Structure 1
């Protein structure tokens, strides 16, 4: 499959082609891990059995399972293609491919950083997905010399939201979904008190504007919060043997992350740091 690259950063075409070929030939599985970790919603577009637990799915997954290919790369992003979900062939008998963009953050300052950055992104993706870092250049040496951090610290229980900020964010998200339920349930209709209240007090178009905004925001908000749940499980709970997937403690954390987002991440990380300090 031939693909035209944009090369907007004036990267040497020969070097770019060599890098793309090397990644596709020797690091297809690494590319897949990077895609899933940095763009978790891509999972919904991959031809995978999503009924399997995410942890088991990612552990057994290989690049060839989805025909992943790195087709372009700049200083700020990577462009990869995967086989479409369902593997239905088009009129020409070819399998449709889906293009995914993976941001490189922060962007590289020069093309010479590419190897170091790809290694770092692969390492971060494997750690985030709960996979071993073995096989990475320098990973063994780094692991041997690394001290401090949160090594050995394990959060083994659910931590209730802190009263002010955690609770405020969680209640705000819950209130939004309550508003959506009210709109879909027919409670924001002319003649009803909710309609009269929003018509008088809602500053953006009254009751009609309120209904439009709630409907417009629902799917983006839902997608963001589901992505946060996936990210939290892969980056925190997947590496925590004390909180098995599907257990009551795991479910409590998932509900908290859905409603609180970043606040639940911070609460978990703060506890990890506290436990790590007690160990050293």
Structure 2
């Protein structure tokens, strides 16, 4: 099936060049790694976009090719959204920048509190507060902790480095895949707040951060 000769292609080219030039820039950057502030869509077929930029002409593949010409709007929207997501851009073509911190909530708050409690237990064990004759020792005996207070100390100390490694790894991944990408500068108070939350809360921090980014994208439309 070919592109119909009814003026619809010309209207599509005109619309994209007039109202979506920043989206063409994003598509070109995402698909081919070419940066251009003012690209021009010069042709479109079922299998590719032809974009003029920087004095050259580039063919951007539509993969898979469109089944029919009537699919063009849907496919252009899909290519645009994919490019925005990959490049961290809003609907206006500008980079999305996270400027606020969100405190833990619901299940995330429970996880945060549980991890804080664990590190408090570790600190208590290392400080000698879980010893015979100490109040904590009596409490553990009263609640019949498995294998008693000695079992409690063994578990708390044995898992410490594993817990630290997991949470440090989560912080590293948050910084690498999200904080730097969305303009949260390393060492800033905002960076420290998100990193602290991630260290104690873990993976649910990612969902919260992604929700903030999604909200920024919607507000830019």
Shorter-chain TM-score: which interval? 0.5 to 0.7
Instruction: Give the drift of 1:237.
Output: 1.0
Q: Is the CA contact (8 Å cut-off) linking 1:199 and 1:208 kept in structure 2?
A: no
Alignment of 1:113-192 (within 5 A): 139-140=32-33, 141=60, 146-148=79-81, 149=85, 151-152=89-90, 153-162=96-105, 164-192=106-134
Alignment partner of 1:159: what SS? coil
Rg (Cα) greater in structure: 2
Match of 1:28? Answer: none
Structure 2: stretches of 5+ with no match in the other structure: 1-27, 34-59, 62-75, 91-95
What is the alpha-carbon distance in structure 1 between the residues aligned to residue 119 and residue 166 of structure 2?
14
CA shift, 1:135, in A, is 11
Cα deviation, residue 139, structure 1: 4.8
Distance (Å, rounded) in 2 between the aligned partners of 1:174 and 1:189: 21
Instruction: Note if 1:215 corresponds to 2:157.
Output: yes
Runs of 4+, deviation exceeding 6 Å: none
Output the CA distance in 2 between the equivalents of 1:179 and 1:219. Answer: 14
- CA distance in structure 1 between the partners assigned to 2:80 and 2:119 by the alignment: 44
Name the CA distance, whole Å, in 2 between partners of 1:171 and 1:139: 46
> Displacement of 1:278 after TM fit?
2.6
Question: 5+ residue gaps in structure 1?
Answer: 1-133
The answer to whether the Cα contact below 8 Å between 1:202 and 1:210 also exists between their aligned partners in 2 is no
- How far off is 1:202 after superposition? 4.1
Q: Does 1:226 align with 2:159?
A: no
Q: CA deviation at 1:236?
A: 0.3
Match of 1:38 in 2: none
Aligned pairs, how many? Answer: 144
Q: TM-score, normalised by structure 2?
A: 0.59
CA distance in 2, matches of 1:165, 1:135: 38
Alignment pair present for 1:203 and 2:145 = yes
Question: SS at 1:235's partner residue?
Answer: helix
1:173/1:260 contact within 8 Å kept? yes
